[in-house]
Chain A
Amino acid sequence: MAMEQDEVSREFPIREDVRMQRRVWRFERIGWYVLVAVVIAALAGVFGNGPASHRTVTSTDGRVEVEYARFSRNGAAEHVDIRVKGAPDAQVKLLLDGPMFRDLTVESMQPQPMASVSQGRALLLHLKTDADGIARLYLSLRNDSVGSIVGKARVGSGSAVRFATFVYP
């Protein structure tokens, strides 16, 4: 009886539309679940800074390895760590190409490369390798665009790595 009363639209003192109201309630309920899902996804790192966002790619011959964030946000800093293998105590030439290095602002580059030259629209860096033949480069980029941004790192013809970051507005 009480439930039946709930279903009836009243005309007085206000004009109700129970069907519509139920839709609103359903929207609120589903919306709540959606928000919970968004929060959980954010914790996992789908919107940047989390386990789901952290990626590592290695070139087929293993000479270049790039750690980067799969997802990032506009205005946030993004860290790209590049590891290059070469001859011990020598130089390797790392070519950084793609919109990621052209369009984003490079805020810092550690350690400073021995030389930094442009090659076409790409950036050619001369890195010094350590006793194990490994050179590392830590880049900090400022995301000032939106959408998918591709970066490429290359040492020689066979050792290329392509990686993409999705930047949320």
Chain B
Amino acid sequence: MDAVLRAGAMYIALMVLFRVAGRRSLSDLTTFDFVLLLIIGEATQQALLGDDFSFTNAVLVISTLIVLDVGLSLIKVRSTRAARLLDGHATVVVEDGRFLRGRMRRCRLTEDDIMESARANQGVERVAQIKYAIVERNGKISVIMRDDAEGEGE
């Protein structure tokens, strides 16, 4: 019983904490972010297992986590509302070569972040070349370029 409760409570606590952290925080993993993730894992491990390092306990904890995770994804498939609540939304942050600054500020994104992603993925040089930049649910920035004809009309 203990193992299931521990795993369940930790799953919920982590979900809430990571929702507070927002989608930006752990998406583009820098070395530091990676180390941070390891530390979070380390801190979680103790609370998950307690002082019971038995094989059975580990299997119980892992089973509980998988049951919860698969259960949630099943709920998400059934209900769009639940999916949006749990996973968040994608947000447009550049539209027709224009930064939407209010949204960027709330997403904690700078122009540099967006242009960096645009250069890396699409070879974009100027913001005018971007048709749409979208912050995806996992925090990655997708960039859709303008068609050439449109770009020249600018």
Residues of chain A having any CB pair with chain B under 8 Å: 2-3, 5-6, 10, 13-14, 16-17, 20-22, 24-25, 27-28, 31-32, 34-35, 75, 169
Chain B residues near A25 (CB, 8 Å)?
Answer: 106-107
Chain B residues near A32 (CB, 8 Å)?
Answer: 20
Chain B: residues with Cβ within 8 Å of the partner, total of: 26
Chain A residues near B144 (CB, 8 Å)?
Answer: 13
In the complex, are the beta carbons of A24 and B132 less than 8 A apart?
Answer: no
Chain B residues near A24 (CB, 8 Å)?
Answer: 88-89
Question: Could you jot down 19 A-B contacts, CB within 8 Å?
Answer: A2-B100, A2-B102, A3-B102, A6-B101, A6-B103, A13-B132, A13-B134, A14-B90, A14-B92, A16-B90, A16-B91, A16-B92, A17-B84, A20-B89, A21-B89, A28-B21, A31-B16, A32-B20, A169-B9
Q: What's the A-B contact tally at a CB cutoff of 8 Å?
A: 53
Q: Which of B22, B50, B90, B100 is in CB contact (< 8 Å) with A6?
A: B100
Q: How far is the CB of B34 from chain A (nearest CB, A)?
A: 21
Chain A residues near B50 (CB, 8 Å)?
Answer: 75
Chain B 56-73, CB within 8 Å of chain A: the 1/0 string? Answer: 000000000000000000
Chain B residues near A21 (CB, 8 Å)?
Answer: 88-89, 91
Chain A residues near B134 (CB, 8 Å)?
Answer: 13-14
Tell me the bound Cα distance from A27 to B134 in angstroms: 21
Chain A residues near B132 (CB, 8 Å)?
Answer: 13
In the complex, are the beta carbons of B89 and A17 less than 8 A apart?
Answer: yes
Chain A residues near B106 (CB, 8 Å)?
Answer: 22, 25
Chain A residues near B95 (CB, 8 Å)?
Answer: 5, 10
Q: How far is the CB of B50 from chain A (nearest CB, A)?
A: 7
Tell me the bound Cα distance from A24 to B100 in angstroms: 18
Chain B residues near A27 (CB, 8 Å)?
Answer: 19-20
Chain B residues near A34 (CB, 8 Å)?
Answer: 20
Among residues of A, the one whose C-beta sits closest to the C-beta of B85 is A20
